Amino acid sequence: MNAVRVGYVPLTDALPLLMSREMGFDQAEGIHLDLITMGSWAQVRDSLLTGQVHAAHCLPGIPLSAQAGLYGRAPGLATAFTLNHYGNAITVDRRMIDDEVTLEKLGARLRMLTDSTLARGRPLTFASVFPVSKHEFELQYWLRTLGVTPGTELQLVVIPPPLVAEALESGRIDGFCAGEPWNSLAVSHGVGRIVSNSRALGLPGTEKVLAVQECWLNSEEHMALIRCLDRACRWLASTENRRQAGDVLAKILNIDPVIAAQALLDEVPQLDETQCGKFVVFDGINRPDQRHAAWLLDQIRLSTGNPQTDIAPDNICRRAFRSDIYDRALRSQTH
């Protein structure tokens, strides 16, 4: 049986990979998943670029940046499988929100904090998880809807999710956008309140993808891995299975299974209780979506201020998001 080395960051949206191994979906496709825990998206990217892993649970911005030439002469990265849509949330400092606070009042409070850095010795500060992450774009979008425009009195930083609750508590940041279970954990530690999520923001949903080196796209192992993940994502549609998946995640992160399952069971404790549809979606969204790629690439270019690439945006998106490979993998399905 061929071993396939796959890197992942322990997060709710790594569950299609984790459950593939747990449920033996990998063996059923004739591969053996060797899952390697990674501590950062920089490590995921470097492991892909240097070929230390065959594939990885990855931010879609990474293959897009690779195809746009942002990593120099590095080998091309691409994705033929979207792992999930949505799944991030925005959490703000508990001290900024009393029980009566509405989003309008919160907006007014945040705008006031951007007026002056004097009182606290630092500007209004929010954290995301990586420079080209969708988290950063979601954060900017949410702040704009509250009338807070990115500029000199608003500071965006990157703090890894496992460290973010502590940064909130010590007053280094006012809020953050991260995947689960880190928002639910900040709430359970009494340091934050969740004020919005990807689903509510309604931006293009592609959240994490399975990224691979271009030269591995056509391999038999990749085809098998796509079929195995496709099955895992369908398996993750049922509430009962999601509960079981929550337990697996809880064990890996060594946290309370109730907290680990909140995002999966649409039970994330939010300021605005109206949840429009599933908090995180795994099934029925797996074919790479060119429109999402185009939107993400636009955001990346705006945020990196890097328009001097010779490659047309359409070509970057087509090379990074390979729906043709996804189609071929599922056509050759054996059962």
Partner 1 sequence: MTTPSESIVLLIGPEPGLIHSLEDAGFQVVTVQETDDIYKAFAEQHPQAVLLGVDSPSRDTLEHLATLGRKYPQPALLLQGGHNPEASRQALELGISAYVTEGMTPAAMKSLIEVSISHAQQVHSLRRELARNQRTLSERKRIDSAKRVLWKEHGMNEEAAYKALKTMAMNSRCSIAEAAQRLLDSKDAQQ
Please give the residue ranges that form the binding site for partner 1 (CB under 8 A).
Answer: 37-43, 46, 49-52, 71-74, 129-131, 157-163, 166-167, 172, 304, 308
Shortest Å, Cβ 208 to partner 1: 15
∠ CA 250-253-259, rounded to 5°: 45
> Exposed, middle or buried: residue 234 (CB in 10 Å: 0-12, 13-18, 19+)?
middle
Helix (H, G, I), strand (E, B) or coil at 154: strand
Q: How many CB atoms lie within 10 A of CB 184?
A: 25
Shortest Å, Cβ 104 to partner 1: 31
Nearest CB to partner 1, comparing residues 39 and 284:
39
Using CA of residue 156, residue 157, residue 159, residue 163, what is the dihedral sign? negative
Shortest Å, Cβ 299 to partner 1: 14
Shortest Å, Cβ 257 to partner 1: 23
Shortest Å, Cβ 125 to partner 1: 9
Shortest Å, Cβ 44 to partner 1: 10
Shortest Å, Cβ 232 to partner 1: 25
Q: What are phi and psi of 267, to 5 degrees?
A: -115, 25
Is the Cβ–Cβ distance between 92 and 325 less than 8 Å?
no
| Residue 251 DSSP label | H
Q: How many CB atoms lie within 10 A of CB 169?
A: 17
CA end-to-end span of the chain, whole Å?
18
What letter represents residue 87's amino acid? G
Nearest CB to partner 1, comparing residues 274 and 308:
308
C-alpha pair distances (Å), 214 with each of 59, 182, 219, 277: 16, 32, 10, 35
Nearest CB to partner 1, comparing residues 107 and 162:
162
Nearest CB to partner 1, comparing residues 278 and 301:
301
Nearest CB to partner 1, comparing residues 40 and 332:
40
Nearest CB to partner 1, comparing residues 43 and 275:
43
Residue 127's nearest CA partner among 164, 152, 166, 154 is 164
| Residue 284 DSSP label | S
Q: What is the CA radius of gyration of the chain?
A: 20
Nearest CB to partner 1, comparing residues 89 and 165:
165
